Each structure stands twice: as C-alpha cells, then as structure tokens.
Amino acid sequence: MSSPSVLVLRAPGTNCDKETAFAFEQSGGEAQLVHVDELLSSSELLANHQIMCLPGGFSYGDDIASGRILGNKLRKQLAEKLMEFRDAGKLVLGVCNGFQVLMKTGLLDVDDEEGPQATLAWNNSGRYEARWVKLRSRPGNCVLLQGIDSIELPVAHAEGKFLVRDQSALNQLAASGRLVLQYTSAHASPAHSPTLKPAIEYPANPNGASADIAGICDASGRVLGLMPHPERFIFAHQHPTWTRLGTTGVGDGLKLFRNAVAYFR
C-alpha cells in the first residue's frame, strides 16, 4: 500500500511545521506543507490527504489569544470540510499551538449546550514554560496513543493549562474516555477519579492543568490534541540525558507518528 499523505498546515508564526513533516516522513508518511491561505482557497486539498496536522508555534503571533485567529478562520470557513475529513475515518493531530487551534475548531467536540466544556489558559506560573515532562497515557480508542503507557516529551508554551468548566464537565470527558494524556511524576500514583485540582505539583505539571491533563481526543479517537511536542523527540540524542544514560535509537515522540502511519496500512 502507498504511504499515507499528510497535510501539515502552517500559518504566519507557525515554526514547527518542518520538524513535524520530517517526523511523519521518518515514520513512512508523505508530508506536504500547506499554507492556510492555500487551503482556504482550495479546500479540496483536504480530500487528497489521510492525515492533517496542526503543528506548534505562534500562529498569527498568538494575538488576542493562542490559536484563536487560526482556529476561528478554520471554524468559520472550513468547518463542514473539516468535519467531513474527520468523519471519513481520517486522522487529525494538533500539537501545542495546534492543540489550541483544535480547541476552537469544533473537531475535538468540547462544546455542549452550555458552551465550551474546557479551554486552554495561561500557565499558573504566568510565564512561558520550556521543560521535559513525564506523561501517563490512557489511550482507550485514541489511534495515535495505541501501545503507549508512558512517554516523556518536551513542552514549550505559555497558554497550556487545560482548564475545565466544572466537575460535571470533567466527569463527562473522563467517562467518555477523552482524557487520554496526563502529566505525571516518578512518585505519582494513578488517581481513582479526576478532580479539577491537579494532583501533580509544578514543575511535573508545568501549567496547573485540571486533572493534570496534557492531551485529549475526540469521541472517535481519531482526533488528538496535546500540549507536549512529540516532533521534538524522535531521536534518542534529542533528550538532555542521552549521553549520561547512553541511550540510542528513536525517541518517545516517534511512536505517535508511527501509529498514525500504521493506521492506514
């Protein structure tokens, strides 16, 4: 079977698009960088791809709020096409700024009759956080996290705190298997039920996210948004301790891209 085609969407301020395309190519995919203006003028481009990725960076300078301008552009002009893309059995990945964009497109199904169940807000520290974090995965039916129990990735964001509206909304997201990725630490034990207050302290939870959430998926399991950057850890030597530990080979982040490509094989 031919390699799945990946549309990596970029916009003014996006700065992780080439690394993301490279990660997909290292996994056997064929990646194409597409500017948002090109997609808006030729929405049929979506039909030519099996995977769409919204990479990290600072789309439109993060003016107003992170990801809001690009998210609103996509929601107002491409909502129907994006839903058709997802419902056709295709995959969508949003990383960091891409996660912020996904939260505003409707593809992650975070809205109900009362409005958004969750959003991404400023880190509790009030500043940009760039550090490595440990993550616990509960993949359920999430395609990109299959076979992953734990993972270590870098984060780099200022507005990455997953903030849930109330406990009822958090319970609904948890019951539907949507809370697929959580910050953890070496001494953490799995919580029996999620609470709005994080169980993991800073800096293991770098932003103060409700229930330590680092990533969520939609109900189908084919759309994933996460704050950490898997494309920045595809080789072992990208980890800061690789010389001390003598690690070689691939990094944890490559697993997500391999899962995406394998889904279409």
Backbone angles phi, psi at 61, to 5 degrees: 70, 10
Q: How many domains does the chain have?
A: 1
- Looking at residue 186, what is its pLDDT? 78
Q: How far is CA 7 from CA 125, 187, 221, in A?
A: 34, 39, 19
In three-state secondary structure terms, 223 is strand
Expressed in angstroms, the distance from the first to the final Cα of the chain is 7
Q: What is d(CA 240, CA 133) in angstroms, rounded to the nearest whole number?
A: 12
Task: Output the 3-class SS for 27-40.
Answer: CCCEEEEEEHHHHH
Q: How confident is the model at residue 191 (pLDDT cuts 50, 70, 90)?
A: low
pTM summary value: 0.96
Query: Is 185 a residue whose pLDDT tops 70?
Result: yes
- Looking at residue 1, what is its pLDDT? 56
Domain that holds residue 189: 5-263
* CB 123 within 8 Å of CB 208: yes
Sequential DSSP letters for 121-132: E--TTSS-EEEE
Domain with residue 177: its CATH number is 3.40.50.880
- Looking at residue 187, what is its pLDDT? 74
Of all residues in the chain, what percent carry a pLDDT higher than 70?
98
The catalytic residue positions are: 96, 229, 231
Give me the chain's average pLDDT, please: 94
As a whole number, mean pLDDT of residues 174-187 equals 93
Amino acid at 260: A
